[in-house]
């Protein structure tokens, strides 16, 4: 097996580096095709979220994939210093751990499993997921389910969205008199809207390029929907701004925030940028009345979450070790299958030829006992000729390894059964 995982995540790279190498849905098919076109690459899959970008490849060299990622980032050589490279059983362990939420910024968070399924589906549609990646990710999803069923790693899960709301509480004592402006209409914004509603937010505004998607999030909530091009007009109304889009470039501009603060008479604004690449111009952090946080600033909330779940995580890791061992054993059996099929095919061909000769002799009136003895002698001779010759050659060369393997294989007296 030549499975390679190469990528970066929230532990190895800050957001300003991670945002340089993001594969959105529209970019993914072309990227997968390019990746599959690298020398030696037989299979390929890309996972790209706000916290990680990882390439899963079969048959690739780390140097080829690393060079490709650097080129995809616009040639930023600094990105190479942030990459990790994982191979073989460790790569399997990594995939299982990621799916179970053990490698997430928030320990046990469930969103990553859906993101992995999306990545796998994209690779299938692009035709870059072959037998090994199919087997790996089908097992990965089963392991994640087992971990969540047999441990409490996901109990009372703290999502990135809820962690952001906890951070906002450090700025606002309560939310009932405040307005929140949510930018985007993905899963993260949907979670944020529900959390804010549960916390008693006074008013919600959801801005998105497609108002249909925003309206689905707003359904059943005290929320109004606006188009993304009206964002600057409504920004002065917002006490809290949470943005998570998949758009390139800044969605919330520095100049628009400056104007909004003037109109608000410099009442404070809490702004949380959950997007990678970032939605909010980072210069906004320099404005006196703005509390701007990125997804990397949620670490303190995450650390508290990790301490609460570490015991369950230890149980989950033991389960994953069992599954890694089982997966690798199954791969070894799979790797041996072609040799087993060839061996059986040769033996069956020998049997069929000997049996046909025996039937011919019986039809010619030869005694049955003589025919059966000849059949047994022929089968024994033909089946053992090749291994006997190989053993003699090995013995003449002073190689005892083949004899030991034969003793194990045929369970002769040289090795206990």
What is the rounded distance in angstroms from the CA atom of residue 289 to the CA atom of residue 368? 103
Residue 337 confidence class, pLDDT cut points 50, 70, 90: low
Considering 50, 225, 313, 316, which one is annotated as catalytic?
50
Does residue 82 carry a catalytic annotation?
no
Angle at which helix 368-396 crosses helix 299-363, to 10 degrees, equals 130
Q: How far apart are CA 132 and CA 321, in angstroms?
A: 19
SS3 227: strand
For 92-129, the pLDDT digits (tens) are 999 999 999 999 887 888 889 999 999 999 999 999 99
Each residue of 229-264: pLDDT tens digit?
A: 999 999 999 999 999 998 888 999 999 999 999 999
Residues of the chain with pLDDT > 70, as a percent, come to 94
Residue with more model confidence, 182 or 74 = 182
CA nearest 99: which of 217, 193, 5? 5
Mean pLDDT of 76-80: 85
133-163 per-position pLDDT tens digit: 999 999 999 999 999 999 888 765 567 888 8
Please report the pLDDT score of residue 135 as a whole number: 94
pLDDT at residue 416 tops 50: no
Round the average pLDDT of the chain to a whole number and report it: 88
Helices (H), 12-110: 15-18, 28-36, 62-72, 89-99
> Could you give the percent of the chain with pLDDT greater than 90?
57
* C-alpha neighbours within 13 Å on the C-beta side of residue 117: 10
417 band by pLDDT with thresholds 50, 70 and 90:
very low
Residues 6+ apart with CB under 8 A from 15: 276, 278, 294, 295, 296
The pLDDT-based confidence of 192 (bands split at 50, 70, 90) is: very high
């Amino acid at each position: 097996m030549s499975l390679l995982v190469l990528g970066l995540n929230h532990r190895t790279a800050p957001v300003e580096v991670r945002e340089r190498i993001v594969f959105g849905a529209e970019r993914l098919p072309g990227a997968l095709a390019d990746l599959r076109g690298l020398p030696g690459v037989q299979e390929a899959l890309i996972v790209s979220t706000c916290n990680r970008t990882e390439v899963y490849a079969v048959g690739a060299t780390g140097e080829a994939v690393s060079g490709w990622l650097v080129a995809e980032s616009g040639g930023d050589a600094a990105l190479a210093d942030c990459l990790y490279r994982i191979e073989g059983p460790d790569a399997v362990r990594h995939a299982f751990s990621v799916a179970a939420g053990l490698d997430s910024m928030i320990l046990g968070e469930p969103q990553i499993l859906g993101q992995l399924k999306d990545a796998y589906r994209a690779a299938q549609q692009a035709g870059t997921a072959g037998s090994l990646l199919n087997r790996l990710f089908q097992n990965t999803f089963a392991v994640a389910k087992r971990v969540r069923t047999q441990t409490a790693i996901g109990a009372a899960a703290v999502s990135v969205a809820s962690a952001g709301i906890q951070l906002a509480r450090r700025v606002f004592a309560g939310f009932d008199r405040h307005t929140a402006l949510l930018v985007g209409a993905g899963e993260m914004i949907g979670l944020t809207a529900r959390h804010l509603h549960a916390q008693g937010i006074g008013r919600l505004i959801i801005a998105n390029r497609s108002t249909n998607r925003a309206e689905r999030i707003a359904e059943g909530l005290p929320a109004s929907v606006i188009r993304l091009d009206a964002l600057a007009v409504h920004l002065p109304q917002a006490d809290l701004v949470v943005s998570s889009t998949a758009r390139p470039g800044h969605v919330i501009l520095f100049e628009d925030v400056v104007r909004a603060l003037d109109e608000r008479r410099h009442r404070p604004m809490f702004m949380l940028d959950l997007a990678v690449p970032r939605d909010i111009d980072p210069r906004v952090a320099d404005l006196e009345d703005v509390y701007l946080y990125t997804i990397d600033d949620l670490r303190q909330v995450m650390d508290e979450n990790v301490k609460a779940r570490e015991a369950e995580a230890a149980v989950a890791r033991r389960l994953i070790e069992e599954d890694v061992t089982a997966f690798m054993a199954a791969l070894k059996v799979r790797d041996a299958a072609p040799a087993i099929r060839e061996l059986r095919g040769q033996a069956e061909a020998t049997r069929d030829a000997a049996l046909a000769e025996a039937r011919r002799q019986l039809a010619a009136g030869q005694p049955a006992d003589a025919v059966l003895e000849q059949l047994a002698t022929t089968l024994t001779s033909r089946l053992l000729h090749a291994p006997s010759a190989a053993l003699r050659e090995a013995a003449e060369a002073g190689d005892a390894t083949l004899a030991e393997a034969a003793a194990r294989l045929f369970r002769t007296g040289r090795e206990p059964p």
